[in-house]
Amino acid sequence: TSIDGIDFFTKNKNYDIVFDCTNAYDAVRHYEVLKELNIKVIDLTPAKIGEICVPCINGDSLQVTDNINMITCGGQASLPLIDAISKSTNNISYIEVVSQIATKSAGMSTRINIDNYIKTTEYAIRKFTKVDECKVILNINPAEPCVFMQTTIFIKFHDLEQINYEHIMCNIYKRLHEVKEYVPFYELVIPPMLNENDILMVSVKVKGSGDDLPSYAGNLDIINAAAVETARKHVNSFALLKSGK
């Protein structure tokens, strides 16, 4: 980190990877600067410049480029389960994701990036599931004491009779275990269930580790953890890409 921001790297070029944690608008300019310096970017903003990544979905198979985008906190919370469900059936007609975060965990960049947050998360849902109809909602909750991040997923099917719920449940619990490998406090709070409108609902809570940030800031912890896991998976590939091999 540096108080000089992106200007620091024009004077100090001996870096392989930069984690951009600024905002979706500045990230575009930062990428152009870092690209010229041959420094690779893991982007924690919803700028949607490079390849989108959720470590447990495409972290191992992602073709490494000079920019990997971590989508959003809501994307990292919801997409593992959405992907697990979509791999269980090709019968999904609509997906809705509603996330709530504590107002104290929503800084200035989060607030100016809300439109980007929604568009980038919806883009990622469509890309991973091939389902065109989706909606993303973010609620910033001022309650005291501060609420933990919670993300609820609603999925509508074309034909309920074609749904294998046992297969869906198995995939969800398998994916839950995979996410917990790098986000320890990722917890299922509402297991998959059909509501009165025959819509599948599932909800997860993300509690932060409480190390440097408050434990209610799970929205910050999950995207940080996803970025670190992505770097861990690809650090050797980044080094080869930088060397031109």
Among residues 53, 56, 73, 134, the one annotated as catalytic is 73
- Beta-sheet strand order (sheet of 92-102): 134-141, 92-102, 149-157, 200-206, 186-194
Q: From 62, 22, 45, select the one nearest 237 (Cα to Cα).
A: 62
Residues with Cβ within 8 Å of residue 43, at least 6 apart in sequence: 20, 27, 31, 49, 50, 67, 68, 69, 70
- One DSSP character per residue, 174-240 reads HHHHHHHTT-TTEEEEEEEEE-TTS-EEEEEEE----SSS-TT-HHHHHHHHHHHHHHHHHHHHHHH
Q: How far apart are CA 26 and CA 45, in angstroms?
A: 9
- The answer to whether the CB of 133 falls within 8 A of the CB of 93 is yes
Q: Collapse the DSSP code of 165 into the 3-class scheme (helix H, G, I; strand E, B; otherwise coil) and give the result.
A: helix
CA distances 19 to 182, 193, 230, 231, 244, Å, are 17, 38, 11, 9, 21
Q: Is 56 among the catalytic positions? A: no
- Cα distance between residue 78 and residue 99, in whole Å: 9
Residue 78 contacts residue 54 (beta carbons within 8 Å): no
Would you name the residues annotated as active-site residues? 73
